[in-house]
Amino acid sequence: MTTSEADQALRKLQDLGAAASVEQRESIRQNLQILTKAADYHTIGMCADNQTMGLTALHSYAKYFGYSITADLVTALPAISGSVYLKYNPRSNRLYVDTYQGDYRGGLVSFQSDLVDGYNGTHGHFPLDLF
């Protein structure tokens, strides 16, 4: 599958949330891997009902892509009650959290490339428990 085909496939699989079938989840993972090969790194975001749920999902997404979020980053976050948006940038090793009032829940994956011919794009919202 080409980068363009993977991009289009993911656009059709976004915003399914927890209702995504086993087959859809596998397709999401496969297409994310194709785009990962065409990019240099990711930024990963989570829209979740609470900070604990968001951090759990963020850790699993980060691990899938080969990143490790250190405990010191997590403990430095302010505690926020209610819905949150979390964002992790592995290149700068920064973790961000803020309140989130939107209706969407799920993971967002942004692909970043340093080179002009690399892949850049954002996809999601994918199930929080995708990995």
Please report the domains of the chain, with CATH numbers, ordered by start residue.
3-126 (3.30.360.10)
For 51-110, the pLDDT digits (tens) are: 999 999 999 999 999 999 999 999 999 999 999 999 999 999 999 999 999 999 999 999
CB-CB neighbours of 76 under 10 Å = 11
Q: What does the alpha-carbon distance between residue 121 and residue 112 come to, in Å, rounded to a whole number?
A: 7
Which residue reads 């979740």 in tokens? 48
Tens digit of pLDDT for each residue in 8-54? 999 999 998 888 999 999 999 999 999 999 999 999 999 999 999 99
User: Residues 113-124: pLDDT tens digits?
Assistant: 998 888 999 999
Model pLDDT, residue 18: 85
- Cβ pair 44, 110 in contact under 8 A: yes
Of the CA atoms within 13 Å of residue 67, those in its CB half-sphere come to: 23
Q: What is the pLDDT of residues 101-112, one digit of tens each?
A: 999 999 999 999
At 14 the pLDDT is 93
Q: What is the pLDDT of residue 116?
A: 84
Question: Can you give the pTM of this predicted structure?
Answer: 0.93
The type of residue at 35 is L
CA angle 126, 36, 102 (to 5 degrees): 25
Q: Is 40 exposed, middle or buried (0-12, 13-18, 19+ CB in 10 A)?
A: middle
pLDDT at 115: 86
- Chain-centre distance for alpha carbon 23: 19
